Amino acid sequence: MLQTDDARIGLDGPTVTAEDGFLTKVMISSMDVRKVIALIGAFYWTIMTVFVVPGIIAATFLTVMVPVLCISVSWFNWLDHKLCRMVNDHWSSAIQIAGINIVEYGDDISKLSEKRVLFLANHLGLADHFVIMSALRNKGTVVEKYLWVIYNIWKMTPMGVMWMIHGNYFVDGGTAKRNQMIEDFKIHLKRNYWKYDHRWIIMYPEGARLYRIKESNARYAAREGYKIFRHCALPRTGAAHATIETTATANYAMVEDTNDSLEYVIDCTLGYQNGDIPSIGNWLFGELPNGIPNVAVHYKIYRIRPEWKNENMLRHWLYDIYEKKDELLEKYYQSGVFPKDSQHHPTVVRNSISNCLFVEAFWLLLLYLHYSIWLKSFASLIYRFVDIKQTLQVYLITSEFGLTVVFILNNFKDEFRLFPPVAGGIPCLVKTLRIFP
């Protein structure tokens, strides 16, 4: 019996619709599960990053590192460097959780891991910190010995305390305090950079995230006759010049066979697909701009030149570098890749899930050790003190024998006399004061 097209449509239509409906429900259900998992992961990572890890660092600094510093600076440096690596790997785990791929272009910077380097990066968003930390984690000891120059908004936070312990420097973006800030930074370098064996100094010369300064920077460029950039801003030279000037004739090295002065500048260009800068929250929830998980990093290595001790010479050179950076970003946003050459091929930074699990296990174990050794006893003492405050009753008794204070705690009575009796005696007066709720 022949079947018409209409009949076939009528027969097959509901079947296809039912299957589609089932598949849709399964997909929605799986998406909901992923969102729940992402929510749990984001909550865990946020609590660990903002409170737990900085707290552990502060506790370890007070209970272990300060005594060690009194014995040996080199031992202190070793502890600080290893903890700094674990902090860096915890931060970069956010990249792993989000499924972000970091693709590196340009020069091989791993060969400079033990050199003294000034690392300059363009600043697009908060995600830049995570990208740089993740990109540097496989570059030898860089993440153990780097020193960040960062905005002082973080200084009075738990993370700021942690960064101060490591020796990072906080800058004030205001122009009114610029000269004093530069002098303070020079002093900070002289006191800390060589003594605690830092190597790479990382900073954002633009001074702030691009969207915050783009208009004001364009007005400045137009007023001074410079080219107006589309994808970056004219860099500020104060901190970079102070770094080069301070280390030019320094002789504070604590480690033999190392050059005391900065030797190289690395120009780092960060690029996000189509110029869409993600927020950390979106990354943690797996919500990627355009659905593309790639972030590109381009490196260019320069040897430091003696003439850069002159700030005007350094300024002109940096402006030229950032003009090239702007052109580089223009090409990246158009094509999705940085230009390649025959000598340097793009590489993807790998970070295994097993390493992420190891890092988190390390911090949880360290938290448990601090809790078991001293935090538990301290918390118990606080609890007992609070419990005493809740049950303590005080009686003031005045009589011909003087003023007596009587304490009653859990049916245990104690008393003591404050001063001798008043001559002639005072009528007995008893008052009960419940001084705590």
Confidence (pLDDT) at 65:
95
Lowest mean pLDDT among 177-186, 226-235, 343-352: 343-352
Strand order through the sheet with 412-419? 412-419, 402-409, 393-399, 429-433
CATH for the 100-348 domain, from 3.40.1130, 3.30.70, 3.30.1370, 2.60.40: 3.40.1130
Of residues 436 and 243, more confidently modeled = 243
Q: Classify the phi-psi angles of 425: left when phi > 0, otherwise alpha if psi is within -120 to 50, otherwise beta.
A: left
Cα(378)–Cα(201) distance, integer angstroms: 39
The pLDDT of residue 26 is above 60: no
At 37, phi and psi to the nearest 5? -60, -45
Cα(65)–Cα(46) distance, integer angstroms: 26
> Which residues are CB-neighbours of 195 under 8 A, at least 6 positions away?
73, 252, 254
Instruction: Confirm if 204 and 123 have CB atoms less than 8 A apart.
Output: yes
Domain boundaries, the chain: 100-348, 392-437
pLDDT-derived band at 435, boundaries 50, 70, 90: very low
Cα(345)–Cα(104) distance, integer angstroms: 8
Confidence (pLDDT) at 385:
64
Give the highest mean pLDDT range of 56-65, 285-294, 339-348. Answer: 56-65
Which residue's entry shows tokens 């973080």?
154
The pLDDT of residue 418 is above 90: no
Confidence (pLDDT) at 324:
96
The count of residues in the chain is 437
Confidence (pLDDT) at 429:
37
Which residue's entry shows tokens 């190597």?
199
The pLDDT of residue 400 is above 70: no
Confidence (pLDDT) at 99:
81
Span 69-83, mean pLDDT?
96
Lowest mean pLDDT among 87-101, 282-296, 335-349: 282-296
The predicted-structure confidence for 234-278, as pLDDT tens digits, reads as follows 999 999 999 999 987 655 444 444 458 899 999 999 999 988 988
The predicted-structure confidence for 298-336, as pLDDT tens digits, reads as follows 999 999 999 999 999 999 999 999 999 999 999 999 999
Cα(337)–Cα(333) distance, integer angstroms: 8
pLDDT-derived band at 188, boundaries 50, 70, 90: very high
pTM of the model: 0.79
Q: Classify the phi-psi angles of 108: left when phi > 0, otherwise alpha if psi is within -120 to 50, otherwise beta.
A: beta
The predicted-structure confidence for 30-54, as pLDDT tens digits, reads as follows 556 777 777 888 888 889 988 999 9
The pLDDT of residue 397 is above 80: no
Span 137-164, mean pLDDT?
87
pLDDT-derived band at 173, boundaries 50, 70, 90: low
Confidence (pLDDT) at 162:
87
